[in-house]
Amino acid sequence: MTAIAVALGGALGVGLVLCASPWLWPRRAVVSPATSVGVTPRVRGTLAAAGLPGVSPTLLVVMSIVFAGVGGTTVLAISGVVALAGAIAAAALTLPWVLVRQRLVARRAAHRSAWPDLVDHLVSAVRAGMSLPDAVSALAEVGPAPLRAAFAEFRRDWHETANFSASLDRLKATLADPVGDRIIETLRMAREIGGTELTSTLRALSAYLRSDAALRAEVSARQGWVRNAARLGVCAPWLLLLILSTRPEAIAAYNTPAGMALIVIGLGVSVVAYRLMLGLGRLPDEGRWLA
């Protein structure tokens, strides 16, 4: 009964905090990661790259606290093992960040496969005699599906302001992709300086992007078992511990100082092993040097 009361009280408190959040943490203007430093701008940049520019870092923190509270109190109500509830709460605390990271990886993978086709459309439009603003605007209709929304926003902005450079800046912030940064800066340079090498440069970039995407897809497929083994190796002991913690003798054992220490050490080992396996099987991310 005490655990249920704690869970209900925690849920009520979280609900009150969420109701008051618009006044406690008003939305701030998005800060470009290229012009600022610190933890919050980096988090904003990650959220923008994941396609969540409207989500604030504060909301992400609040959601992490909600997940931790719900997960911890639920496990405490089921098992009665304090250390296990704390470990689950610590794992649930990172869940929103993990989801954002997965969304970022999926979004960049979708964009990576779409960039070569987009560059080919640009080359065709330029060779057909279209101006650069019209060629970029046309991608809202003929470009790859994952990128059309961003270029539709560029087209609206270009028609409203007629400022190509400023519209490119906003397009770069919307895409939040290192490949997009390179393409946009190439177009900006061609617009401002001129020259006859734009189509050959874009064709070379398209060939490089295709080979890079194929290589990454092959390596990712071969290393998929590493990621799956890491997840299975981390989750299996904790699922077994959760099942065992429903027995009275296990609850008594794990609520002792030695049992709590064992769970804390196991949590640390699980985190280190999981991060190590993922680090060994992860391809390096390309930095946004032109952001």
Instruction: Kindly give the confidence (pLDDT) of every residue in the chain, 291 residues in length, as a single tens digit, with 9 standing for 90 and above.
Output: 455 554 545 555 555 555 555 544 544 433 344 444 456 777 887 887 777 877 888 888 899 999 999 988 998 888 888 888 888 898 889 899 888 988 888 888 888 888 888 988 988 988 888 888 898 999 988 888 888 888 999 999 988 888 888 999 999 888 888 888 888 888 888 887 766 777 888 888 888 888 888 888 887 777 777 778 778 888 888 888 888 888 888 888 888 888 889 888 988 888 888 888 777 766 666 666 766
Q: Is 244 exposed, middle or buried (0-12, 13-18, 19+ CB in 10 A)?
A: middle
Residue among 178, 187, 189 nearest 126 (CA): 187
Query: Sign of the CA dihedral 276, 280, 281, 284?
Result: positive
Contact 260, 227 (CB under 8 A): no
Amino acid at the residue 64:
S
The whole-number pLDDT of residue 126 equals 86
In this prediction, residue 206 carries a pLDDT of: 86
Question: Could you give phi then psi for residue 286, rounded to 5 degrees?
Answer: -80, 130
Whether 180 and 111 have beta carbons less than 8 Å apart is answered as: yes
Place of tokens 């083994």: 229
Please choose, from the candidates 174, 172, 228, 229, the residue with its C-alpha nearest in 3D space to the C-alpha of residue 48: 174
Distance CA 141, CA 121 (A): 11
Instruction: Give dist(CA 42, CA 193) in Å, integer.
Output: 32
Q: For position 32, what pLDDT does the model report?
A: 41
What pLDDT is attached to residue 66? 92
- Length of the chain as a residue count: 291
